[in-house]
């Protein structure tokens, strides 16, 4: 698969399906693994890195879910294209930034990816639409068994999987849920609700990952603890807490539509009106307007656009995607104009389709 083909397709994890799709965009699990006989990445050299790539790619040939995948070699990608893979949640910002011999295997529909020579030798990831961490886990567990069964993985009987950073030792598992909480943001209880979850070993970040501001009322909730609990236990805790947050969110949405229906509908419709008409649109403004539109679709205030279109745009309006679609170098002003044009076209064709469907 080429990068151009990748840009044009909609990742399966953004198809708007899965449980609680009106609140949960996607579920992700990842595993950190390292090869026992090669120094962990903090100390390793070029030759070590090359060995990791060779061993992992060779082993992957024999794994059914990976042998059709594409390997993107960081060395051969421009900065913008590495960034594009970050925007698609296929690699971490760390892998995009670090030099050396790293890369990522990506399967056809972007559900599975394996980063090579990031912080750990291997970072295996599975992404699914909606609130489906168990499904993602089963998919990933299978790949882990098949791939790592062919590799000599650093594992300690007491500690579990060994990793470059001690925070990942144990299961090496991080599960995270991308959740949309406009109701809690609007009733201003989101901080209160989310502050509590650190106590049960979970952590919250913004859409763009660690250390980024929250935009568009999108949050990533993930486990902090990887040690001393089994994989099912980690997932079970995450699921239980996220279910509570979903309930809080539903309740906030009900309150808003009961007590301030006109104002909420106004916010939703104006946001749609601006997205469908703007000629200049920053990424951050897009996120905030799209959040209101998503709330509208989720609560039935709006019939169009579909969740899948909103999900797709989440990824496609980011700078490197805009850049890649233009096929030429753009400054920030020009990107804001291209972004506005792209969003407008997608909204226009979505509403045409829906009109035709209804007619």
Instruction: Kindly give, in sequence order, each residue whose CB lies less than 8 Å from that of residue 76, ignoring residues fewer than 6 positions away.
Output: none
Q: Classify residue 300 as left (phi > 0), alpha (psi -120 to 50) or beta.
A: left
Contact 278, 346 (CB under 8 A): no
Which residue from 17, 108, 134, 337 is in contact with a copy of itself, where contact means CB under 8 A?
337
Is residue 36 at the binding interface for a copy of itself, with CB under 8 A as the rule?
A: no
Residue 309 contacts a copy of itself per CB under 8 A: no
**23 vs 256, which CB is nearer to a copy of itself?**
256
What track of x and - describes contact with a copy of itself for positions 218 through 257 (by CB under 8 A)? ----------------------------------------
Is 280 one of the binding residues for a copy of itself (CB under 8 A)? yes
In whole angstroms, the minimum distance from the beta carbon of 269 to a copy of itself comes to 4
Tokens read off for 252: 């906030």
Q: List phi, psi (to 5°) of 343.
A: -60, -45
d(CA 217, CA 243): 17
> Least distance (Å) from a copy of itself to the CB of residue 188?
20
Map residues 168-207 to x or -, x wherever contact with a copy of itself holds by CB under 8 A: ----------------------------------------
Residue with the two structure tokens 């690699």: 91
Contact between 278 and a copy of itself (CB under 8 A)?
Answer: yes
Query: For residue 265, what is the DSSP state?
Result: H
Q: In the complex with a copy of itself, which residue's Cβ is closer, 287 or 315?
A: 287
Helix or strand or coil: residue 261? Answer: helix
> Coil, strand, or helix at residue 227?
coil
297 contributes a contact to a copy of itself by CB under 8 A:
no
Tell whether residue 273 is a contact of a copy of itself (CB under 8 A).
yes
Check binding of 349 to a copy of itself (CB under 8 A).
Answer: no
Residue whose CB is less far from a copy of itself, 33 or 335 = 335
Q: Least distance from C-beta 264 to a copy of itself, angstroms?
A: 9
313 and 241 Cβ atoms separated by less than 8 Å: no
Rg of the chain over all Cα atoms, to the nearest angstrom: 21
Contact 119, 94 (CB under 8 A): yes
Please enumerate in sequence order all residues whose Cβ is within 8 A of that of 57, keeping only pairs 6 or more positions apart, or say none: 71, 105, 116
DSSP 77-140: S-HHHHHHHHHTTSS-HHHHH--SS-EEEE-TTSSEEEEESSSSSEEEEEEEESS-HHHHHHHH
Q: Which is nearer to a copy of itself, 240 or 355 (CB)?
A: 355
Considering the complex, state which of residue 47 and residue 262 has its C-beta at the smaller distance from a copy of itself. Answer: 262
Structure tokens at 339: 């972004």
**Of 86, 106, 87, which is closest to residue 96 (Cα–Cα)?**
86
Name the residue nearer to a copy of itself (CB basis): 279 or 329: 279
Number of H helices, E strands in the chain: 13, 10
Of 38 and 289, nearer to a copy of itself (C-beta) is: 289
Kindly state the number of chain residues that form the binding site for a copy of itself, as judged by CB under 8 A. 18
Give the tokens for residue 211. Answer: 């250390």
* CB nearer to a copy of itself: pick between 191 and 266: 266
Residue 274 as a binder of a copy of itself (CB under 8 A): the answer is yes
The one among 47, 99, 157, 262 contacting a copy of itself by CB under 8 A: 262
Minimum CB separation of residue 168 from a copy of itself in Å reads 45
Query: What part of residues 89-128 is at the interface with a copy of itself (CB under 8 A)?
Result: none
| Residue 279 interacts with a copy of itself (CB under 8 A): yes or no | yes
Binding of residue 345 to a copy of itself (CB under 8 A): no
Q: Do the Cβ atoms of 153 and 164 come closer than 8 Å? A: no
Does residue 276 belong to the site contacting a copy of itself (CB under 8 A)? yes
Residues engaged in binding a copy of itself (CB under 8 A) = 262-263, 265-266, 269-270, 272-280, 333, 337, 340
């Amino acid at each position: 698969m080429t990068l151009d083909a990748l840009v044009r397709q909609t990742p399966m994890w953004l198809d708007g399906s899965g449980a609680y799709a009106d609140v949960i965009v996607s579920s992700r699990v990842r595993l950190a693994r390292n090869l026992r006989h090669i120094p962990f990445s903090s100390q390793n050299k070029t030759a070590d890195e090359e060995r990791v790539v060779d061993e992992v790619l060779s082993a992957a040939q024999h794994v059914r879910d990976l042998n059709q995948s594409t390997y993107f070699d960081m060395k051969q990608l421009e900065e913008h294209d590495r960034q594009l893979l970050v925007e698609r949640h296929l690699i971490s910002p760390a892998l995009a930034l670090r030099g050396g011999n790293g890369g990522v295997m990506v399967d056809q529909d972007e559900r599975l990816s394996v980063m090579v020579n990031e912080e750990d030798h291997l970072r295996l990831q599975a992404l699914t639409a909606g609130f489906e961490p168990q499904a993602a886990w089963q998919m990933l567990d299978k790949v882990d068994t098949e791939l790592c069964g062919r590799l000599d993985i650093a594992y300690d009987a007491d500690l579990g999987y060994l990793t470059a950073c001690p925070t990942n030792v144990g299961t090496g598992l991080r599960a995270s849920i991308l959740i949309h909480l406009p109701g809690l943001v609007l009733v201003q209880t989101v901080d209160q609700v989310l502050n509590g979850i650190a106590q049960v070993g979970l952590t919250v970040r913004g859409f763009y990952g660690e250390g980024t501001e929250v935009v568009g009322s999108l949050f990533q909730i993930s486990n902090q603890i990887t040690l001393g609990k089994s994989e099912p236990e980690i997932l079970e805790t995450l699921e239980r807490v996220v279910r509570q947050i979903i309930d809080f969110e539903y309740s906030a949405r009900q309150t808003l539509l009961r007590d301030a229906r006109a104002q909420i509908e106004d916010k939703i419709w104006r946001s749609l009106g601006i997205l469908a008409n703007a000629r200049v649109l920053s990424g951050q403004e897009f996120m905030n307007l799209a959040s209101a539109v998503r709330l509208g679709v989720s609560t039935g205030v709006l019939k169009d656009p579909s969740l899948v279109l909103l999900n797709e745009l989440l990824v496609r309006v980011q700078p490197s995607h805009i850049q890649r679609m233009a096929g030429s170098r753009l400054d920030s002003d020009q990107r804001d104009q291209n972004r506005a044009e792209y969003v407008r076209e997608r909204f226009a064709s979505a509403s045409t389709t829906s009109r035709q469907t209804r007619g």
